[in-house]
Structure 1
Amino acid sequence: MRGLVALVLAGLLAAASPAAAGLDEADVTILAFDELDGWEEDDHAAALEVFLETCRILDDAQWRPICNLAQAHSGPAKQFFELFFRPVLIEDSAVPLFTAYYEPEILGARRPTARFNIPVYRKPPELSSGALWFTREEIETGGILNGRGLEIAWVEDPVELQFLQIQGSGRIRLRDGSAIRLGYAGSNGHRYRSLGDELVRRGIYSPHQVSAPVIRAWVRRNPQEGADLLLHNPSYVFFREVGHVPADRGPLGAMNRSITAHRTLAVDPEYTPLGAPVWLEKDGAEPFNRLMIAQDTGSRIKGAQRADIFFGTGDEAGRLAGQIRDPGRMVTLLPIQQAYALKPEG
């Protein structure tokens, strides 16, 4: 084992991976593990198990030997992380913010009915990644996609569909008890606008009153104004049907692997490499310190100290996720040489 460790360390010292573009203007501080609040008390074995979900697909000279060792590791998981990584605090000018997301599950059908009459679309073939396309209003009221056979399923509630689009993945529960699992396929390229922020701007609610249940109830009580509110968000997300993920596993993240409740983070890859372990110190009403893995991204997740915590599947996960909007600190664990390449001595 010592010989294998020596070879891995030699490989790590050979070359540093290029930094992401966002790191050029960031403040970088290398920390010691004893500077991480609660590091000693976490379940490092649980974090290592999640790390292995995506580590094996990292095609990078800095990560490949570490991933090989992780797969063969039989000792304490905490020791593994301390031996091969260094904690790196990456900061920009933005205030740290940590929110949460979940995998919605809503009712629907494979074919349109009187009850289920709102289509869930797959991506049109002419829509290229990153291109600016028609707005939500143009898609939903202009009939642009009618008759093209792009419907995956049909649902009954436009609010639930938009929440599904905001989360980027989910499940449609059919009447026979089976489910259609949806993954993110692309968007129309327009920037997301918050429905809650718009209700506050209109003077209907104050910021501390807004939540997903409040938005849902208001739209249902005010169908005409509610329809107008839903069109306020020009962003529109398209889905693909995911058929190879077992029902007991999480949805696919940005790395095309199942993500894990309370251990997966969505991050900005301009600052945090996908697949990296991240030590999260979340403050707020229910604080926690936990080693998580950066396995996902999100259109709203921008910045060095901005992340989304995956809370799981279903209504209860959604209720809990909607309560998270907290300050704190996240510290990325990077391979040793990669860490010191960001902060050269002297």
Structure 2
Amino acid sequence: MLEIIFIIFTFLGSPSGICFGQTTDPAPLLVLLDKNEIPVFDDDADLDSLKNALLQSLNYYAGLPKETNFNFGKDVYSLQSLTDSLKFLENYLEQSPSKEEFSRFIRDHFLIYRSCGMGSKGLVTFSAYYEYTLSASLKEDSIYKVPLYARPPDLLDVYLENFDPSKRGERIVGRADGKNLIPYYTRQEIDSFKILENKNLEIAWAKDPLDILFLQIQGSGWLEIKDSTETFHIRYAGDNGRKFKSVGLYLIESGQILKKDFSRKKMVDVLSQLPEEKRQEVLNQNPRYVFFEVTSPTTPTRGSLLVYLTPGRSIASDPKVFPQGALAWFNTEKSVFDKKGKIIGKKPLKRFVLNQDEGGAIKGAGRIDFFVGRGQEAQKMAESFWSEGDLYFFIKKPSP
């Protein structure tokens, strides 16, 4: 679904860099609100799931160096400040407050920052992602012949914040070539030139490289094994560091699909009609490649912070823009379906969430991806959710 989302986002245009009526200076990414600007923070989900998400962020903070700092727009807060904020909220939730009491507690005890989002209205565009399911075989055959790869041992991640604290959230990915670090192999080198073949990296085999692409876009999922009741839970284990490029957008720009007709089904139909070699050429337009690892079926999905994601409570954002692990709240809309799965309207979606993941297509202050879990309802949500709204971040007010 992120493939479709990326296309829409591209045609909408990029953020203007202007926030809340400013016309000259570059806008900050987050703006501290005055008391009279603060909304009512409704929440439409159970608070137990929020407790679980809070615990995961606290686990993340517990593993960071004590000198770590986080940017809230132009303001900088210590790791201790963010940890204290989440523990303070965690303790309060043990009192089982009503949702009205909870909203009032947040307003009274937290500093509140709003995202500048896209353009002068400060709106953020929300999408959703879920755990994709595909049919696979543990052995290669004439039907299942597209490999799903584990992380190669020569793939290296270099986190720039280890060299310069101002580079938090930035990394370089590559492989060693003598004493040099060079870019890792592209999708074309991996899928067309078979550069990773015969290296014992195959987890399983799929029917179509498009299935692999969709799984890579979602970042985690499930393999339904051929001739078996067994399912494998797989999750992100790394990527080649290449920039995400939209295959769907390429099909539009090359005239193979009209913009007005684009959908995931249309993209699949067009690609399925191409000869195998030509289809792979189109998929190679996206050089980014994601690697996976098998995990226990009972193990929840992990995000980029290496903590478990909570369906309906975890979001992915640009780590260069928003504080990782932090408490946030958004206000937008989601689709309403009838019994046949047809969209019949919209309803509000208001939710406290934790910023616990990132995505190759999720860049800037105007984009958030909402994790919705697994199953048909999650898939429907992910494939229909594209909505503008408001985004806020929170940190506990300093003690008097």
Report the Cα offset of residue 147 of structure 1. 0.9
Structure 1 counterpart of 2:235: 183
Whether 1:117 and 2:145 are equivalent positions in the alignment is yes
Whether 1:239 and 2:239 are equivalent positions in the alignment is no
Structure 1 counterpart of 2:372: 311
The structure 1 residue matched to 2:82, chosen from 63, 86, 94, is 63
Structure 1 counterpart of 2:385: 324
The structure 1 residue matched to 2:29, chosen from 26, 35, 42, is 26
Whether 1:276 and 2:326 are equivalent positions in the alignment is yes
Post-superposition Cα deviations, 1:191-221, rounded to whole Å, max 9, x if no partner, equal 1111111121122333343232222222123
The percent identity for this pair of structures is 27
SS in 1 for 2:255: coil
Matched to 1:270, the amino acid is K
SS in 2 for 1:107: strand
Matched to 2:247, the amino acid is L
Cα RMSD between the aligned structures?
2.8
State the distance in 2 between where 1:55 and 1:189 align.
25
Matched to 1:85, the amino acid is F
Post-superposition Cα deviations, 1:229-258, rounded to whole Å, max 9, x if no partner, equal 212111111112223x616x4x21122233
Confirm or deny: 8 A CA contact 2:114 2:392 kept in the other structure. yes
Could you say if the C-alpha distance between residues 34 and 25 of structure 1 is closer, same or farther in structure 2, counting changes exceeding 3 Å?
closer
Matched to 2:113, the amino acid is V
Structure 1 counterpart of 2:75: none
Moved more, 319-328 or 194-203: 319-328
Could you say if the C-alpha distance between residues 182 and 82 of structure 1 is closer, same or farther in structure 2, counting changes exceeding 3 Å?
same
Confirm or deny: 8 A CA contact 2:362 2:368 kept in the other structure. yes
| Count of matched residue positions in the alignment of Structure 1 and Structure 2 | 312
Confirm or deny: 8 A CA contact 1:70 1:80 kept in the other structure. no
Could you say if the C-alpha distance between residues 300 and 32 of structure 1 is closer, same or farther in structure 2, counting changes exceeding 3 Å?
farther
State the distance in 2 between where 1:122 and 1:257 align.
20
TM-score by length of 2: 0.70
Give 5+ residue unaligned stretches, structure 2.
Answer: 1-25, 63-78, 158-172, 175-182, 336-345
Moved more, 27-36 or 115-124: 27-36
Post-superposition Cα deviations, 1:263-321, rounded to whole Å, max 9, x if no partner, equal 22111222222222211122576342222221211121111231001122245533431
SS in 1 for 2:373: strand
Could you say if the C-alpha distance between residues 153 and 31 of structure 1 is closer, same or farther in structure 2, counting changes exceeding 3 Å?
farther
Structure 2 counterpart of 1:262: 312
SS in 1 for 2:53: helix
SS in 2 for 1:229: helix
SS in 2 for 1:62: helix
Moved more, 140-149 or 272-281: 272-281
Moved more, 205-214 or 146-155: 205-214
State the distance in 2 between where 1:44 and 1:63 align.
23
Q: How does 1:139-154 map to 2 (within 5 A)?
A: 139-154=190-205
State the distance in 1 between where 2:197 and 2:295 align.
23
Give 5+ residue unaligned stretches, structure 1.
Answer: 1-22, 339-346
Q: How does 1:87-126 map to 2 (within 5 A)?
A: 87-91=112-116, 96-126=124-154
The structure 1 residue matched to 2:270, chosen from 218, 221, 224, is 218
TM-score by length of 1: 0.80
